[in-house]
Amino acid sequence: MIAPRQPVSAHSGDSGGNGHGNGEAREDRGDNGQFAPGNRPAHTFPRGHRFGKGNPLAGRVEKLRAALLKAIDPKDFVAIAKTQIRKAKQGDTESAKFLFDRVLGKATQAVALTGSDGESLVDLLQRILSARREIEERARHLRAV
């Protein structure tokens, strides 16, 4: 059986990138560097580990959220929403942004996928794959000769 993933110490020395300091592959990964079956990248710390305590503020946030839900009345909620709508109509851009983000969801930022020279990454990938096919074809030809 493969050993569970162990947390990596910040002082593991010259590790060659594997966190063990001995240049060997990690026990939770196969020879190809992929996680072995049964292990996962987000493996939790073992019970009792000092970093395995979770979010120290989670309990407090849960209590505050419960208190707020208990204190707010549906009529209050509607009044607050109407106030935000009124402010947005009067030109308050923060209120408009708040409303749009809450009702429509936050806008996603567009990301242009281009190479360093501005070439489309799709075009670049097609050129790479074409070159690979050409190399493989030449290798097959050389083996046949």
**Band of pLDDT at residue 113, cut at 50, 70 and 90:** confident
Pick the more confident residue, 25 or 93.
93
Percentage of residues of the chain with pLDDT beyond 90: 37
pTM of the model: 0.39
For the beta carbon of residue 26, count every other beta carbon within 10 angstroms: 19
**Is the confidence at residue 17, as pLDDT, over 70?**
no
Report the pLDDT value the prediction gives residue 16, as an integer from 0 to 100: 41
Listing DSSP states for 124-145 in one string gives: HHHHHHHHHHHHHHHHHHHHH-
- Report how far apart, in Å, the C-alpha atoms of 115 and of each of 38, 70, 73 are: 37, 53, 53
Could you read off the pLDDT of 58-68 as tens digits, one per residue?
899 999 999 99
For the beta carbon of residue 27, count every other beta carbon within 10 angstroms: 14
What whole-number distance in Å separates Cα of residue 34 and Cα of residue 27?
11
Pick the more confident residue, 24 or 125.
125
* Distance of alpha carbon 25 from the chain centroid: 24
Pick the more confident residue, 57 or 50.
57
Which range of 53-57, 84-88, 106-110, 137-141 scores highest in mean pLDDT? It is: 84-88
Report the pLDDT value the prediction gives residue 81, as an integer from 0 to 100: 93
Which range of 7-21, 26-40, 43-57, 65-79 scores highest in mean pLDDT? It is: 65-79
Report the pLDDT value the prediction gives residue 22, as an integer from 0 to 100: 46
* Residues sharing a CB contact under 8 Å with residue 84, sequence separation 6 or more, in sequence order: 95, 98, 99
Q: Across the strands, what pairs with 120?
A: 114
Q: Is 53 helix (H, G, I), strand (E, B) or coil?
A: coil
What is the residue extent of each domain of the chain?
113-145
